[in-house]
Structure 1
């Protein structure tokens, strides 16, 4: 068969181009340490690698969100911790204010100090989040949560909790509303409160009491009124929520410190009540810590030196002490909730790290190059190309004129 010179050149050129392309591809694989350079190299592996890469990118973003969430929760936890310390300081001052040997001037100093603590607490409640907003304003991030008033402070935020997606199936609250932290405080013992009625002139002081039988609690409002006739002191408890009002206890002899119990409630009253002195017994309500502290300051500033005024102060200090305890308990509960979320973020971060390792391993199996095999292939291709070039040179040099003498 006769082969033309043109055919020889075309075939040789095509083969040389093909070998050079193979070498160039292998060289690129070695340079990038990637087996799959284009989807054409391995369509199935390329498609799977794209899915894994997208999942890996999402996991990376979740990691960023977890870091941001942890930063926000750290600010919340620090603010609540500082607030709890302030409340404990005020509790100490309340105990100090109850010392009967203090003068009016001493109590005014304590009132001023408590007022300063309230300003500090208000500053904590209005803590900024570092990005132009406030920690405790709910969804109203740019609205200052609390504005001071004559009776305490008004909350201007809402009840929302801002959340971040920190996992494929988990979003976590990164804030708590100021209302839930500073206004969600139960008066009295949490179930009911025993409170002196303004205008009492005796020295009777009521304790917070306890629930003797939760099944008997009615949620009604009661009035306990004392009657003093000579050396005999009695009291009557009236249920104000019934129509007509009904007497629950009538003309019971009063003994200072002896337990008074009715409709599931149980408490004591100490001191010497005056005729007509009254106490209210009603269900606990929510009260802002700022209202509690404002009432406490006013009670100290309005206190007198006579026995009746001191008894009134003692009752108000007892009420304030209950409110402060409830507030502290609530803050610690919220702080525990924040801590549990931060702990969950730690677990999610560990899971995210494990997932990232799995994604990298999967991508390595799909895309990474077998270096030893690639080097061997490159050496073989190089040898083949060199041989092809030499053979082409030899063939292209053949000519009939070389044999004509």
Structure 2
């Protein structure tokens, strides 16, 4: 009776062992076929956790790249707008120099005034440009507020604020999205004969006063406009330089994110992909163990009770 129980237990033990070995072999064969480890929380907690973390990091970097591409598109739009403004400022500077001379009379100056008024309206329209999301580019953080409003007296008032919107990347770095309308319009100081600042105006006030001087045939007013228009142009060109630096920064941040993705994908591959040499060696070892177990089981199964007693 005791012998039968021991034999049954032995058969069960051998059967369980072979089943386990067959399962391990099947899993290794599946991994070798797919080239991926069958990583699950139950089989490899560390690898699973590592894979999930790396996948999330890669996803965050990919989000950053998409955001950076969107930001750079906005920078290029901002650049094109300011380039158009600079071109119009160059023409207005030419007009101011021409209007200063006695070559042109009051009628010609009135024609110049009409031209400058057109440029002023065009520049105000450009300053009220919207981005692809329908937000005003130069309103600061008041992106739904029309930034530059023309009043009844022809002057232009800025309704935005000086706070520049920023995009926070996954790394915590905050990237400025655009310049404010305050920075775009600039601040021009007007001084008296003693050099004391009497007032501060922006580019729209400079253009408006230039128009007034042209219509009034005011050569002194035109003379003042020459230097102030040059200051406006310098401010726009400085903003263009700043825009170029921001575009370069975006390219650098994008390169960093792309390099990180390559690194993290390599780490993820190490966590997920099969090491073929190790897997093949393990498969050979498991198959030999299974063959030995099967051989032993077959021999024991052929023994009769009489053989066992003998």
2:296 maps to 1:296: no
2:274 maps to 1:369: yes
Match of 1:283 in 2: 197
Higher relative contact order (CA 8 A, sep 6+): 2
SS of the aligned residue for 2:169 comes to strand
Which residue of 256, 270, 292 maps to 1:351? 256
2:229 maps to 1:324: yes
Do 1:151 and 1:295's aligned partners in 2 also have CA atoms closer than 8 Å? Answer: no
Give the whole-Å Cα distance in 2 for the aligned partners of 1:100 and 1:48: 79
SS of the aligned residue for 1:285 comes to strand
Relative to structure 2, which stretch is displaced further, 137-146 or 378-387? Answer: 378-387
2:102 maps to 1:97: no
Give the whole-Å Cα distance in 1 for the aligned partners of 2:28 and 2:198: 80
TM-score, scaled relative to structure 1: 0.66
After the TM superposition, list the runs of 4 or more consecutive aligned residues in structure 1 that deviate by more than 6 angstroms.
none
SS of the aligned residue for 1:59 comes to helix
Q: Which string of whole-angstrom CA distances, capped at 9 and with x for unpartnered residues, describes residues 1-60 of structure 1?
A: 835564454234312220121023213432443447124544445444444444333333
How far off is 1:90 after superposition? 1.1
Do 2:129 and 2:136's aligned partners in 1 also have CA atoms closer than 8 Å? Answer: yes
**Which runs of 5 or more structure 2 residues have no equivalent in the other structure?**
none
**Bigger Rg, structure 1 or 2:** 1
Which residue of 162, 165, 183 maps to 1:162? 165
How far off is 1:122 after superposition? 1.1
Match of 2:3 in 1: 2
How far off is 1:129 after superposition? 0.6
TM-score, scaled relative to structure 2: 0.85
**Which runs of 5 or more structure 1 residues have no equivalent in the other structure?**
195-262, 266-281, 304-312
How far off is 1:128 after superposition? 0.9
Give the total of aligned pairs: 304
Give the whole-Å Cα distance in 2 for the aligned partners of 1:39 and 1:380: 25
SS of the aligned residue for 1:2 comes to helix
How far off is 1:102 after superposition? 1.9
More strand by share: 1
Q: Which string of whole-angstrom CA distances, capped at 9 and with x for unpartnered residues, describes residues 255-286 of structure 1?
A: xxxxxxxx6x5xxxxxxxxxxxxxxxx41532
Match of 1:58 in 2: 60
How far off is 1:119 after superposition? 1.6
SS of the aligned residue for 1:154 comes to strand
Q: CA RMSD in A?
A: 2.9
Match of 1:333 in 2: 238
How far off is 1:322 after superposition? 2.2
Match of 2:180 in 1: 177
Do 1:29 and 1:37's aligned partners in 2 also have CA atoms closer than 8 Å? Answer: no
2:26 maps to 1:121: no
Relative to structure 2, which stretch is displaced further, 82-91 or 142-151? Answer: 142-151
